[in-house]
Chain A
Amino acid sequence: MNRLSRARRAVTLASAAAISLALAAPASAQETFKLGIVTFLSGPAADSFGVPARNGGTFVIDQLNKGGAPSPYEKVGFGGMKIEPIIIDENGGATKQVQELRNLYQRDNVDAVLGYISSGDCLAVAPIAEELKKMLVLMDCGTPRIFEEGKYNYVFRTAAHATMDNVGLIRYMKAKNVKMETLSAINQDYAWGQDSRADFVAAAGQLYPNAKLVTDLLPKFGAGQYGTEISALVSAGSDVVYSSLWGGDLQSFILQASPRGLPKRSQLVFSAADHVLPPLGDKMPDGTIIGARGAYGLMSQKSPLNDWFFKGYEGANGVYPVQAAYRMTQAILGLKAAVEKAMAKNGGKKPSTDELVAAMTGLEWQTPGGLVQMKLADGHQAIQSIGFGRTKYNPDLKRVDLVDIQYFPAECVNPPPGVKSLDWIRGGMQGAKCN
């Protein structure tokens, strides 16, 4: 080994660095809208949420770029500008997401960033976008803390937060006269599980004031084995077993609980379980009450927009769309509506970030999952309606159908502006408009 080859190696390294910098240089094109999309492509949330969201996003963007979407979204791309997506992986923790968000804005010069499924990531990236004064659309994450603890001008969330999942669930149980004198809960021991549990218990305290919480379990995230938990739940024998488990954890829980008779002893209620119906199939016990975090998937309501999306997605991916795909779609359509509203105002030019922000604030738009309204947090946080139903296996179609579906309007299950979610629930859900 000598000096020469070391110098050569240094040159190779330097040129590799130069090439990567050159590749990173922004391509300037007038007629496109560069959209950074962040969703889980790896990790535990990829199969359940991240990849369906990605598939929903690519389907909708393809359709929009071809001008193939139904009214009122028939314009090509965003107001005539083709959408140029840059998709990156949300896996890797909040530190990485903050860095990647900066890279998207500052290096790749995207016009807006849309995505994020994990609440921790949403909380971490929101202040960064605000500081950089760049448009950020959060599409999914559950926690209400984002706008309840912070105030943002450049950040929007185009889906309702997790409060309605549990308030709606309790309202559904009450409407269907589900008996609940005793209640048990099993939730993952991290923010989503802890918060969902708190919301559900608080809402139950309002509508079922006599219900007693018997067994309250918090297994760790990704546990996979629930033998002892199921024993505890079976021996407790409470009327209702509530869970906010999702993905692989929920599938394992159901697969392990069914043979031990838990679904026969207790009414199972799951706040966000629609995404496990396709993989579980006939393993899903009939009569389980489930939510989908909106009027999504098999609970979606018929409309030309939903027919286009449901059938198109099913055709492209071989499986029907579930919650995350809907949420991605409603975020993209919302952004499209905002861009076109801003362009109508400024005479058809590509809108600046501030024009875009002004157009998005307080916006209302139609989506495959129904009407979305930016009503909370000064027009930055969406509310929407939600559906719940009971599972029933359909042997002809070889899929789990949902029966007994009931919808609750957005203002029935979401807190009014200016009230913190948990305070609203504990205060008796004042001002809810349920018709």
Chain B
Amino acid sequence: MNKGMHPLVMIGLVGAVTLFGRLLPTWTLSLATIAAANALISLGIVVLARTGNISFGQGLFYAAGGYGVALIANGWGLTDAVAQVIIGAVCGGVLGLVIGPLIARYSGIFFGMLTLALSMVFYGALVKSTALGGSDGFNVGRPTLFGIGFSDPREADFMLYAVSVITTGLAGIAATILFRSEFGLASLAVRENNLRVEYLGLSANRIISLNFVIAAIFAGASGAFALMAQRHIDPQFAYWTTSGEFVFVAVLAGNQSVAAVFVASMALELVRSFSNLYLPNTWQLVLGVFLLGVILFLPRGIGSLWVRDRRRKSTPATASEGTTKKEVVL
């Protein structure tokens, strides 16, 4: 724990970002809410990626969280934002607990393809369920907080922004602590050589499963945020392009910094929004060029903009990531 920020400083930072929302124009608030939700799920992908496995099917848990929250909200009238986040996280986590141990036996491309396949099975089932609105989905009411309803749009947006930034921030802090812990370092070791990890007396499968569940919990909570922000859910939540976008945020951010995930997510949303406004016919192209640019010029992600120096004199575990080897780009 001799490097990086103290968790209390990070909590302070999250508080500051939350209060900063009071100054932001309204449209940025909802954009930031979505960006924070996307950051949360991408953070889960980064957590999982430390074991050397990429999930192309996080949409499964994202949709599970979203649909779980939406059905409970419509069925029992539960609209509290914090409760909804917890429900989403539980839905994602339970599903992750079922799938994780089954899938942990696979690695690499097989792991990725299986996650993708499972999410598409869920997508297919949702499209067929006309009771849930089929491919059009259905709407839910606006969330409340601790029994308070928000009728002013700006206050409602700020409430969501605050809840999502705080939740994502806390998840980020938890992830940072996790990364530095014995378990987090063992996860990195699984990526390097899972046989050796087994010889150390640790179960690589268990480590992958646990990381998978953590990623699923984050994805479920993220689905809850997306639902609260847009008050509508449809099977697109589980579609592979949705999952792919989260992987892209993770790639964009790199796995060196938790903060980078938030920056990457926000940058992606901003680029998407402005390119769609000014270049409605070619916004995908702009998005693609932006992503290509980041990959070409910042191959280890946006995080490498500020993490590089510190990591050079860091612990052996992270040194083995190869971060010390190339200092040539740019």
Residues of A within 8 A of B (CB): 1, 5-6, 9-10, 17, 20, 23-24, 41-42, 86-89, 92-96, 98-100, 102-103, 105-108, 119-120, 123-124, 126-128, 131-133, 143, 145, 149-150, 189-191, 194, 221
Most buried by B among A87, A95, A128, A149: A95
Closest to B227 in A: A95
Q: A317 CB to closest chain B CB, in angstroms?
A: 16
A93 / chain B contacts, CB cutoff of 8 Å: 234, 236, 239, 241-242
**Cβ–Cβ contact B231 & A127, under 8 A:** yes
Report the bound CA distance from A86 to B239 in whole Å: 29
**Cβ–Cβ contact B139 & A123, under 8 A:** yes
Is B322 part of the binding interface, using a Cβ–Cβ cutoff of 8 Å?
no
**Cβ–Cβ contact B156 & A99, under 8 A:** no
Listed from nearest, the 8 A-B pairs whose CB atoms lie closest are A106-B27, A124-B232, A190-B135, A107-B27, A191-B136, A98-B230, A191-B134, A120-B136
**Cβ–Cβ contact B34 & A99, under 8 A:** yes
A221 / chain B contacts, CB cutoff of 8 Å: 135
At the interface with chain A, which of B81-89, B210-218, B247-255, B268-276? B268-276
Give me 18 A-to-B residue pairs in the complex whose CB atoms sit less than 8 angstroms apart, sorted by A's number. Answer: A1-B308, A1-B330, A42-B284, A89-B283, A93-B236, A99-B230, A102-B31, A103-B273, A105-B27, A119-B136, A128-B230, A132-B153, A133-B153, A143-B136, A149-B138, A189-B128, A190-B134, A190-B135
Report the bound CA distance from A131 to B232 in whole Å: 13
**Cβ–Cβ contact A6 & B306, under 8 A:** yes
State how many residues of chain B have any CB contact under 8 Å with chain A: 46
Report the bound CA distance from A127 to B70 in whole Å: 15
**Cβ–Cβ contact B30 & A102, under 8 A:** yes
B25-50 residues at the A interface, CB under 8 angstroms: 25-27, 30-31, 34
Task: Given the known inter-chain contacts A9-B305, A120-B135, A124-B234, please indicate yes or no for A103 contacting B31, CB distance below 8 A.
Answer: yes
B232 / chain A contacts, CB cutoff of 8 Å: 94, 98, 123-124, 127
Which of A94, A107, A123, A126 touches B236 (beta carbons < 8 Å)?
A94
Closest to A190 in B: B135
Is B147 part of the binding interface, using a Cβ–Cβ cutoff of 8 Å?
no
Is B229 part of the binding interface, using a Cβ–Cβ cutoff of 8 Å?
yes
**Cβ–Cβ contact A89 & B280, under 8 A:** yes
**Cβ–Cβ contact A89 & B276, under 8 A:** yes
Is B226 part of the binding interface, using a Cβ–Cβ cutoff of 8 Å?
yes
B138 / chain A contacts, CB cutoff of 8 Å: 123, 149
A191 / chain B contacts, CB cutoff of 8 Å: 133-136
Closest to B232 in A: A124
Report the bound CA distance from A123 to B27 in whole Å: 21
Is B127 part of the binding interface, using a Cβ–Cβ cutoff of 8 Å?
yes
**Cβ–Cβ contact A95 & B230, under 8 A:** yes
A131 / chain B contacts, CB cutoff of 8 Å: 142, 153, 156
Is B16 part of the binding interface, using a Cβ–Cβ cutoff of 8 Å?
no
**Cβ–Cβ contact B133 & A6, under 8 A:** no
Report the bound CA distance from A106 to B272 in whole Å: 17
B137 / chain A contacts, CB cutoff of 8 Å: 94, 120, 123-124
Residues of B within 8 A of A (CB): 25-27, 30-31, 34, 127-128, 130, 133-139, 142, 153, 156, 226, 229-232, 234, 236, 239, 241-242, 269-270, 272-274, 276-278, 280-281, 283-284, 305-306, 308, 327, 330
A103 / chain B contacts, CB cutoff of 8 Å: 27, 31, 273, 277
Which of B31, B128, B236, B242 touches A99 (beta carbons < 8 Å)?
B31
Report the bound CA distance from A20 to B269 in whole Å: 13
Closest to A142 in B: B136
Most buried by B among A126, A190, A191: A191
**Cβ–Cβ contact A145 & B136, under 8 A:** yes
A100 / chain B contacts, CB cutoff of 8 Å: 273, 276
Closest to B298 in A: A9
Report the bound CA distance from A126 to B136 in whole Å: 13
Q: A359 CB to closest chain B CB, in angstroms?
A: 23
Report the bound CA distance from A123 to B233 in whole Å: 10
**Cβ–Cβ contact A96 & B242, under 8 A:** no
Task: Given the known inter-chain contacts A89-B280, A95-B230, please indicate yes or no for A1 contacting B327, CB distance below 8 A.
Answer: yes
Report the bound CA distance from A88 to B330 in whole Å: 35
B34 / chain A contacts, CB cutoff of 8 Å: 95, 99
Closest to A43 in B: B284
Report the bound CA distance from A123 to B140 in whole Å: 11
Closest to A134 in B: B153
B308 / chain A contacts, CB cutoff of 8 Å: 1
Q: B284 CB to closest chain A CB, in angstroms?
A: 6
A149 / chain B contacts, CB cutoff of 8 Å: 138-139
